Each structure stands twice: as structure tokens, then as C-alpha cells.
Chains A and B, each alone.
Chain A
Amino acid sequence: MILRLRSTKLGKIRFVGHRDLGRVWERALRRCGAPVAFTSGFTPRPRISFGLALPMGAESLAEYVDVEMDPAFGELPDPAVILPQLCEFMPDGVDVTGYCIVDRSATSLQEVVTSCTWELWGPEIAADEVARACELIAADTVSVERERKGATRIDDVRPLIIDLQPSSDGLRLIAELATTGRALRPAELAGVAFPGCDRRDVRVLRTHQWVHGDHTETGVSEDSRSPREHSTSYGDSRREVISLPVAVPASTLVVGA
């Protein structure tokens, strides 16, 4: 059995890398006494797998982690008990905001997610720049210089841009980007969307990880409420990986403060 968790990563903790945060999860799960399954061999590792890595410095409302439980190690925990504990043991800025139970045979998080929604903003980005950035959606091609295996090449990333919208206050660019194949990273989008701005000054928040098509076996709920509501024109068969809200204190979220 796999406990699939959704969590936030907000505030100072955004500077902790993906692998480092993995170790923090391991310790927090151990503190809960959760019966986490282990790999076999001389150096058993807990069977915890993380979804798509979040770029260093980015924040998120929708991070996912799969924790495999082994009944041989003890009773399966009651999520209502264990999730508040996890929130307490994880650093400030990481809160568990949703969960579901999936089968061991479920498609991995890395494979199941087909696109993510991001918010991009910055101290020097005004509403008219956001509006101009949204016009990229009308372009036939969007060229980005990317490095691969040491060689620089120009890629057309237009097919990876699913949607571009301004936020309601107009100050943030809301972008849905495909994760299949060679994903377009938000910093790469920032390079073309805000050419006058140092991309290191562009703040990034992941708000959703989306599953397209039929993935009922993964435990995706029919409930389509998502961590942050906003409308897009691509809502047809798309669902957030986990959309069940969870009864844990998630009220302290301050987004992009």
C-alpha cells in the first residue's frame, strides 16, 4: 500500500534542495513510527519516492510524495493521526494538504503527471510585462537555448506551453507547462517571457501537478477541487493528482510572501 501525500513547500524552506528535503521526509516519517517499507540489501533505503523535482528556490502548493507502507512492520497508520504529526515534524513551510491511498501497482508520480501549473512573478515585473508574456501563446514557435550533454542547441518549446494567463491582479504569469518528454522548466520560460529580467530574480510557485486522461487506478479523486482555484481553458480531462482536502491545519499558508 502506498500513502500518496500532497504537501506545500513555502518560505525559507524553498532553498532546500529536492534530495535534501527527501532526507528530511525520511526522518519525519521515522519520528511518526510509520511502518515504511524498505528496499532489501545491505543498505536498506526507505521506499519513499518523490514526484517531479521542484527547481531550487521555487515554492509549491502541490508537491507529491509516495510512501510505501509494509504491514509486516506494524499497523498501517491512521492518516488522521499521522498527517498532523508529519506536519509538526516537517520544517515550517511544509504542510501536508492532501492524501490518498494507491495500490503498489499504481503508475509512479514521475510518469503520471503530464503538466504543471506555475506562477511566475518578480519585483521588477509589472502588469504590462505579464500581459506581453501571455502573447507567447499565440506564437507558432518559441525558441529557447538549452544545454544538453554539454552542447547548446535551440529548441522550439511552443508545444510544451499549454496555457499562459495573467493572475487576477495581473502581476503574475500563470503558465501550464507540459512535463512529458523534455519538460520546459519555469526558469527557461522566464528567460523568454521576461527577457529584460534576470531570471534569478523571477519567483516561481508551482500550484498544480496535473494528470490527463483516465487514471482512476492511481486513486485520483473525482473531486475536482484543487489547491488553488483558477480557471483555464484546458480543464477538460485534467485532474490534480490528489484533490481530496485533508483535515490538517493548512490554514497557515502564505503564498509567495
Chain B
Amino acid sequence: MSSVWARVEPLLARVQKPARYIGCEDGAIAPGQEIFGPEGPVAWLLAYPDTYEIGLPNQGLQILYEILNERPDAVAERTYAPWQDMNAQMRSHSVPLFSVESHRPAAEFDLIAFNLSSELVFTNLLEMLDLAGVPIHTERRAPTDPLVIVGGHAAFNPEPIADFIDAAVLGEGEEVIAEITDLVRGWKRAGRTSREGFLRELAKIPGVYVPSMYMVHFEGERLVAVEPRFSDVPATVDKRTVADLGQWPYPKRPLAPLTEVVHDRLSVEVFRGCTRGCRFCQAGMITRPVRERPAEQVRVMISEGLRRTGYNEVSLTSLSTADFSEIEPVVRGILADSEARPGSSGTTTINLPSLRVDAFTVGLAAEVNNGRRSGLTFAPEAGSWRLRQVINKLITEEDLYGAAESAFSQGWTRLKLYFLTGLPTETDDDTLGIAELARNVAAIGHSHTGRASVNVSVGGFVPKPHTPFQWFGQNTENELHRKISLLRNATHKVRGVNLKWHDPAASMAEGIISRGDRRIGKVIERVWREGGIFQEWGEFFRLGRWTDAMVAEGLSVDWYVHRHRQADEILPWEHLTAGLHKDFLWDDWQAALHEHGVEDCRWTPCYDCGVCTGFGIEHIVASNTPPAGGSQGTGQDLSRGGLIPVSVAPVLTGGRS
């Protein structure tokens, strides 16, 4: 392989933020002078299809980077989407996409593996392949071209990019990347002959979906069947799940960047999975069950990570960090360790993202914030108790007001509240409940300080595959605009309340892809050919490109985005599973329409969603009682913790055997 650094270097004097392209981070692993080629190590290029600043902190990518580089027979390097200015320079000087470590051309790697965290980055995937000189269509790739594989949450419905990828990995990558590496090594040694023969073998690895091994049949608009082309290719592909997070203490050598990135701090994942059961939340549905990391391992990863990187701030990451059984001892341990550290660095700031809405959580945040009161974020998600039962985000108003009282009384002046609008069964009263909650929270704030402010952030709900809401017809752009106008009118004269909203046009484009089938691939390609890259960036996004492309392909936005799906309909991702039974999801959808909540199964009996029973795995939690604080969805004061004493939802009958 050959480095293109000498050709990259002169371009860097002509672009903004050139440090994006040089690598050299602390923790980076630059491969030595191995002989690349058939006898060499399996070379992975881990690609993040957004800017360096957004991609570098990505923990999934860092974990796989390290695990692969620990193997003697593999190397892994990284690449990110070049910004527009660099892209233009590279194209005009014929410089291909390159890795940031050794600056080798992307096309010289054995695999290019993209991390897909959202749908709107799909056009960047095409852009990066094209920049790499790799044919964007899998059918046009020669045996010598790299394998293009994807993973991450947005890979759970890879049908819209089925024409462009060789394979999608469903679920967690820690174990499956080893199996893929073994297979690729064998293929390399054998001279990388038939691509199709290799892909057929690849499709047999559990968790790996090879779209080209499946035939998809449509009758008119309807999808009628998805079937494997060969009898040895599995009819359904299950996600991969690591049974015990404690066996994977990665990253051990976190990347510390040389330029500012979005999360410029150490991150340590305290648990994976979430069974709160919020019905809109794809992450909570596809990452089950809950697997906590042992508290002692968390503590070691934090102290080692801080020592190795020099950061003085750590984020304890998960989908709901206050739910970590041992959050209190872990936090106290970090503070004790940091005081014992020599020098003036004895001030570690602990960051708790994704906080639960209750007073206990605020108390925890107060303890760890080092006197800083920068801002606290809560996500009630819906404006009324009725609608919160529909979405199963079982936070009472008292929980929220208790959290607000606790925060303002402990010195915070700024709270941020996240809501969704366009949720199933949402009425204008529910929407306006958002304004009501914000007004009341601001009033609580003003009883403590005149400077109190509440920033309300409203996003348009996009239904996601593998969730109970996958059958729901998304609100139209106009309807979302109307709801946002209601909220603007209801909040614009309210002291201390500021409203922000996500662009409904972007939600609509996301909706086109989110539940799309293979026909959407042509739309993505068209948008990309029209120059529609960096679609998550407001300055580059134009809805017209998407709607024009839909028209040009003869596809209906209404049919893909706004239509309620039927019970007997075959969904485009039905042959791919996160372990959740389809009838569990359907029953949960029906329970939602009846405004019934379900409990968190990590502390209450199993309701058989299908994941643990199907995969033979189970929750790993250090405590079988819920943490203290709030009502935990029961409507009762559980501020001291303990067993949830009542059943929230009546047991539904029928539908499922």
C-alpha cells in the first residue's frame, strides 16, 4: 500500500480545520511497515460518514478499532467524511479518500466498515465510496474492491442501502468482527476470487445480513416476500449481542483528539441496553437486554482512562445512566480517586448524560458537578400524562416538578426539556401540555431566581423499525409545522421559556429512509447525485431534493411516510430481527393505543418480548430493586428506592401465543 500523504499535505494549506485529516491522536495506532497484500493482515478501514469532530468520539468505532488492532492478523485504521472544501480539493487533485493514520487510499483496504448512527448520513456513504474510487453499487464491484459493510443503529433497516453495501451487521460488533476477519483472511489467502461465493459464506455468519443473497418481491406497491436465494442462507438474520459487557472493557486506549470534537472528554459505558420500554425509542428496543458493567471495572476504566488521556472530565454513558445499579458508589469512587491523584488535577468533572427525570437524579448531578451549574437536560418527551402512557415514558408531572424544584434550589438557572411532537394519538391538548409544563417549570425556577430559564426543544417524531410504533403513519410536514406554531403561540410571551424545534422537513426526509424498502435506494442515489451530502447539516439540507427524487422514481411520500401500516403487512425489515417478537411489538402498539404502560422488566417479571428467551441471554444488573427517586412510573413516591409494588398495565390477552 502506498501513502498519499505527500499529495494530501499541500491541500491542507487550502482548507479549514486541517487537523481533521492528519491523525496523530493520542491512542491512535499507526500500522508499521507491514507488507500489505494477500499474505498481509486483514486491513479494515473504519469509516464514519460525518465530520471528524462528530465521528472521532464515537465509542462503537473506537471499541472495534482497538479490538481489531489487538489481533496480530488484522489492522484497523479510520476515516471520516471530508468537509466540502477538502472534498473539492481532493477531487480536483485526484486524491482518493484516505485513512487518517497512514494516509493510505481507502480502496486498498480489504474492508470499509461504516458506522451508521442515523439515516440522513446515507448519502455521505455514497460520497465516501465514490471518493474512494469504489463502485457505489455492490453488483459492479470486482473481487479486488474492498468489501463494504455497515453497522450501527441505522443498519437495523439496511434495505434502502441494499444496493450499495455488501453486508450489514446487526447489533453489537465485538464478537462478530473476529468471525468476519477470519473469513476474509481465508478469502485473501485464496486469492480473493469469486465475490459472490465469498458473500454467500459471509451470509452464514450469525448477525451478518448480505442483501444480495435475498430476493425481494413486490406486487404493485406492496412487499410480498423476501426470500434467500440459496438454501444455506438463513431466512432471518438475528442481531448479535454480547452476553457480558464485563468481558469487553473497551476502549482501553481512548482516542484523545488534537482538535476540538463534540464530546471532548473521556467516555466510559456503564451499561448497554435499556428496558424502560419507551415505545418511540429504537435504541431501547434494539439493544436489549440490560447488561451492566461491574462497578469495579467502571472505576478502573475511568481512572486508567483519565491517567492515559489527561482528561479531567468523564462521561458515564448509557441510555439512562441514573438507572445504573451502582451509580452512587461509582460516583463517590471517582471523586475519591480524583482527590488522591497528585498534582492539581484533583478536580474530575463527571458528566451524566441521559438523566432520568426525578429529584434523586438532580441530587446526583449536584454532587458530581464540581460546583458548576451549566445546564441540566430532562426528556419528558410528551406534554400530558395520557400521552406519556401512550409512549410508555412514565414520568409524572410531580416527578418533573420535583426535579425542577431540586435543580433550581441547588443553584441551576437553566433547564432544558426535550419533547417529541407528532406522536401517536397526540391531540392539540397534548401538544399544548408541553407549553404548560414549561410554564410551570419556569415558575418554579422564578421562585428561586429571576434568571431562571427553560429551553424547550421539540423534535418531530419519526417512527422507527423494530419498535411498537413501526406501524404508525408519521405526521405530515404541515401538521408538524402546525403543532410547532401552536407551541410558539403558547410560549412566546412566557417569561423564561425559549422554544426551539427540529426542522419538520428534515424529519420528513428521515421518514422516507427510516422505514424504506429497497426501492428507496434509487432515491438516495439520486439525492446524492444532485449534490445532497451532509444532509444532517441544515446548510446543506434541502427537502426538495428528496421529494423530487421520490417523484422521479415514481414513489409516493404518503405511502412511505404518512401511511399507517396494517397488521398483516410484511415490513421491509421483517427478515431482520433484534429479537423482539413481532406480536410483542404489535401487542405493545395496541397497548399504546389503549394508553396502557408496561413496566421495566429488569426489576419486574419478564413479559417475554422475545430477546432474552430467543437468544438465551439475560439481564445483568447488580441490584434487583430499582434505584431510589421519583415514581418509577407507578405514580407513587419511591424516593427511597425499593420494589415497585404495583403493576402498571393490565395484562393484555390474545394476539400472542
Contacts and interface: CB of A to CB of B under 8 A. Distances in A.
Interface of A: 12-13, 15-17, 20-21, 23-24, 26-38, 42-44, 46, 56-57, 70, 73-74, 89, 91-93, 200-201
Interface of B (DSSP majority class): loop
B77 to A, nearest CB: 15
7 contacts: A13-B24, A27-B311, A34-B344, A35-B344, A42-B372, A57-B13, A201-B10
B18 A33 contact: no
B310 A28 contact: yes
A15 B307 CA distance: 26
Nearest to B11: A200
Given A31-B309, A57-B18, A92-B24, 16 more contacts: A12-B22, A15-B21, A15-B22, A20-B259, A20-B260, A27-B26, A27-B256, A31-B310, A33-B345, A44-B347, A46-B344, A56-B18, A73-B343, A89-B26, A91-B24, A91-B25
B258 interface: yes
Interface size classification for chain B: 20 to 34
B199 interface: no
Contacts of B14: 200
Contacts of A70: 344
A26 B343 contact: no
B379 interface: no
B343 A16 contact: no
B440 interface: no
Q: Which 7 A-B pairs have CB atoms at the shortest separation, nearest pair first?
A: A27-B310, A33-B343, A73-B344, A15-B18, A31-B310, A33-B342, A200-B13
A21 B310 contact: no
Given A12-B23, A26-B310, A20 B342 contact: no
Contacts of B347: 44
Contacts of A35: 342-344
B19 interface: yes
Interface in B19-40: 19, 21-26
A24 B13 contact: no
Contact of A27 (B21, B309, B341, B342): B309
User: Which of B23, B310, B311 has its CB near the most chain A CB atoms (within 10 A)?
Assistant: B310
Contacts of A23: 260, 264
Contact of A30 (B13, B18, B22, B345): B345
A201 B11 CA distance: 9
Contacts of A38: 344
A15 B103 CA distance: 15
B19 A16 contact: yes
B371 interface: yes
A13 B259 CA distance: 11
Nearest to B17: A17
A34 B259 contact: no
Given A17-B19, A24-B258, A12 B24 contact: yes
User: Which of B256, B307, B308, B341 has its CB near the most chain A CB atoms (within 10 A)?
Assistant: B256
Contacts of A21: 258
A97 to B, nearest CB: 19
B225 interface: no
A17 B258 CA distance: 9
Nearest to A11: B24
B312 interface: yes
A74 B22 CA distance: 36
A30 B24 contact: no
Contacts of A13: 22, 24, 258
A36 B18 contact: no
Contacts of A32: 343
Nearest to A91: B24
A37 B343 CA distance: 9
Interface string B31-63: 000000000000000000000000000000000
B599 to A, nearest CB: 41
Contacts of B312: 30
Nearest to B13: A200
B638 interface: no
B28 to A, nearest CB: 9
User: Which of B13, B22, B26 has its CB near the most chain A CB atoms (within 10 A)?
Assistant: B13
Contact of A89 (B21, B258, B310): B310
Interface in B343-358: 343-345, 347
B343 A74 contact: yes
B310 A20 contact: no
Contacts of B23: 12
B612 interface: no
A36 B310 contact: no
A162 B345 CA distance: 44
B267 to A, nearest CB: 15
Given A27-B256, A92-B24, A15 B19 contact: yes
B20 to A, nearest CB: 9
Contacts of A37: 344
A38 B343 CA distance: 11
B283 interface: no
Nearest to A73: B344
User: Which of A12, A33, A34 has its CB near the most chain B CB atoms (within 10 A)?
Assistant: A12
B314 to A, nearest CB: 13
B327 interface: no
B343 A30 contact: yes
A122 to B, nearest CB: 10
A37 B372 CA distance: 19
B465 to A, nearest CB: 39
B226 interface: no
B342 to A, nearest CB: 4
B12 interface: yes
Given A27-B310, A200-B14, A201-B13, A16 B258 contact: yes
B644 to A, nearest CB: 39
B374 to A, nearest CB: 9
Contacts of A92: 24
User: Which of B25, B309, B344, B347 has its CB near the most chain A CB atoms (within 10 A)?
Assistant: B344
Nearest to B373: A42
Contacts of B26: 27, 89, 91
Given A24-B258, A33-B342, A37-B344, A15 B310 contact: no
Interface in B289-309: 307-309
Interface in B336-384: 341-345, 347, 371-372
B535 to A, nearest CB: 28
Nearest to B18: A15
Nearest to A28: B310
Interface string B256-272: 10111000100000000
User: Which of A23, A31, A33, A92 has its CB near the most chain B CB atoms (within 10 A)?
Assistant: A31
A93 B19 CA distance: 14
A91 B19 CA distance: 13
Nearest to B19: A16
A42 B19 contact: no
Contacts of A74: 342-344
A22 B628 CA distance: 42
A33 B311 CA distance: 12
